[in-house]
Chain A
Amino acid sequence: MNRLLRTSAIRLSLRYAMFYMLVAGAGLAILYWATSRYVDAQIEAGLEHHLKTLTKLFENKGAEGLRRALERRGIAAEPENHRFALYVDKSGKRLAGDLKAWPPRAKPNGRVSNVWIEDELIPFAMEDHDGYWPTIATTLPDGSRILVAQSVRQAEDLQEFILATLFATFTLVIGLTLALGWRMGRQLLTRIDQINATAGKILNGHLDQRIPVTGRGDEFDELAQKLNAMLDHINRLINGMRQVTDNVAHDLRRPLTRLRNRLDVTLLESRDAEDYRQALESTRGDIEEVLKTFNALLEIAQAESGHFRGEIEVLSLSELASQMGEMYVDLFDAEGQHLVLAIEPGICVRGNRQLLAQSISNLLENAHKYAGSKAQVTLSLQGDQAGAVLSVGDNGPGIPKDQQENVLRRYVRLDRARSTPGNGLGLSLVNAIAQLHHARLMIEDNAPGLAVSLHFDAVACPSEQTPA
Chain B
Amino acid sequence: MHLLLIEDDQEAAAWLSKGLQSMGHVVDHAPDGEDGLHLALTGDYDVLIVDRMLPKRDGLSIIRMLRADGDLTPALVLSALGEVDDRVQGLRAGGDDYLVKPYAFEELLARLEVLTRRHKEQAPATQLKAADLVLDLTTHKVTRAGKTIRLQPKELQLLEYLMRHQDQIVTRNMLLEHVWDLHFDPQTNVVDTQISRLRGKIDKDFDKPLLHTIRGRGYRLSENE
Chain-B contact segment, one of A177-185, A227-235, A326-334: A326-334
CA distance A334 to B191 in the complex (A): 13
Q: Are B85 and A302 in contact (CB under 8 A)?
A: no
* Residue A355 CB within 8 A of the other chain: yes
- Among B182, B183, B188, contact of A368 (Cβ-Cβ < 8 Å): B188
- Among A295, A302, A328, contact of B190 (Cβ-Cβ < 8 Å): A328
* Residue B205 CB within 8 A of the other chain: no
* Residue B185 CB within 8 A of the other chain: yes
Interface size class on chain B is 20 to 34
Interface flags, A282-325, vs B, CB<8A=1, else 0:
00100010011001001100100000111100000000000100
Interface flags, A352-367, vs B, CB<8A=1, else 0:
1111011001100100
CA distance A353 to B88 in the complex (A): 13
Q: How close is B2's CB to chain A, nearest CB, in angstroms?
A: 28
- Among A298, A308, A334, A352, contact of B193 (Cβ-Cβ < 8 Å): A334
Q: Are A365 and B188 in contact (CB under 8 A)?
A: yes
Q: Are A323 and B180 in contact (CB under 8 A)?
A: yes
Q: How close is B83's CB to chain A, nearest CB, in angstroms?
A: 6
- Among B88, B185, B186, contact of A295 (Cβ-Cβ < 8 Å): B185
Which residues from chain A contact B193 at a C-beta distance below 8 Å?
A: 330-331, 333-334
Which residues from chain A contact B88 at a C-beta distance below 8 Å?
A: 310-311
Q: Are B216 and A330 in contact (CB under 8 A)?
A: no
Q: Are B84 and A352 in contact (CB under 8 A)?
A: yes
Q: Are A421 and B184 in contact (CB under 8 A)?
A: no
Q: Are A311 and B85 in contact (CB under 8 A)?
A: yes
CA distance A302 to B180 in the complex (A): 23
Which residues from chain A contact B189 at a C-beta distance below 8 Å?
A: 331
* Residue A422 CB within 8 A of the other chain: yes
- Among A302, A311, A326, A368, contact of B154 (Cβ-Cβ < 8 Å): A326
* Residue A398 CB within 8 A of the other chain: no
Q: Are B184 and A330 in contact (CB under 8 A)?
A: no
CA distance A291 to B184 in the complex (A): 13
Interface flags, B167-197, vs A, CB<8A=1, else 0:
0000000000000111111111110011011
Closest-by-CB residue of B relative to A285 is: B216
- Among B83, B102, B182, B188, contact of A309 (Cβ-Cβ < 8 Å): B83
* Residue B81 CB within 8 A of the other chain: yes
Q: Are B180 and A327 in contact (CB under 8 A)?
A: yes
Which residues from chain A contact B187 at a C-beta distance below 8 Å?
A: 292, 362, 365, 421-422, 426
* Residue A281 CB within 8 A of the other chain: yes
- Among B152, B186, B194, B216, contact of A365 (Cβ-Cβ < 8 Å): B186
> Which residues of B54-96 have CB atoms within 8 Å of chain A's CB atoms?
81, 83-85, 88
Closest-by-CB residue of A relative to B179 is: A327
Q: How close is B52's CB to chain A, nearest CB, in angstroms?
A: 15
Which residues from chain B contact A299 at a C-beta distance below 8 Å?
A: 184
Which residues from chain A contact B180 at a C-beta distance below 8 Å?
A: 323, 327
Which residues from chain A contact B83 at a C-beta distance below 8 Å?
A: 302, 308-310
Which residues from chain A contact B185 at a C-beta distance below 8 Å?
A: 292, 295
Q: Are A330 and B196 in contact (CB under 8 A)?
A: yes
CA distance A12 to B84 in the complex (A): 58
CA distance A83 to B152 in the complex (A): 130
Known A323-B180, A354-B183; contact A295-B194, beta-carbon cutoff 8 A: no
Q: Are A327 and B154 in contact (CB under 8 A)?
A: yes
Which residues from chain A contact B182 at a C-beta distance below 8 Å?
A: 354, 357-358, 361
Q: Are B190 and A354 in contact (CB under 8 A)?
A: no
CA distance A309 to B186 in the complex (A): 22
Q: Are A358 and B188 in contact (CB under 8 A)?
A: no
Q: Are B84 and A354 in contact (CB under 8 A)?
A: yes
Q: How close is B13's CB to chain A, nearest CB, in angstroms?
A: 20
- Among A291, A311, A362, contact of B84 (Cβ-Cβ < 8 Å): A311
Q: Are B184 and A361 in contact (CB under 8 A)?
A: yes
Which residues from chain A contact B154 at a C-beta distance below 8 Å?
A: 323, 326-327
| CB-defined A-B contacts under 8 Å, sample of 9 | A310-B84, A311-B88, A331-B188, A331-B190, A331-B193, A333-B193, A334-B193, A357-B184, A361-B186
Top 7 nearest A-B pairs (CB, nearest first) are A330-B193, A310-B84, A310-B85, A331-B193, A354-B84, A309-B85, A358-B184
List A residues at the B interface (Cβ < 8 Å): 281, 284, 288, 291-292, 295, 298-299, 302, 308-311, 323, 326-328, 330-331, 333-334, 352-355, 357-358, 361-362, 365, 368-369, 421-422, 426
List B residues at the A interface (Cβ < 8 Å): 81, 83-85, 88, 102, 104, 152, 154, 180-190, 193-194, 196-197, 216
Known: A298-B81, A331-B188. 6 other contacts (CB 8 A): A331-B189, A358-B182, A358-B184, A361-B182, A368-B188, A426-B187
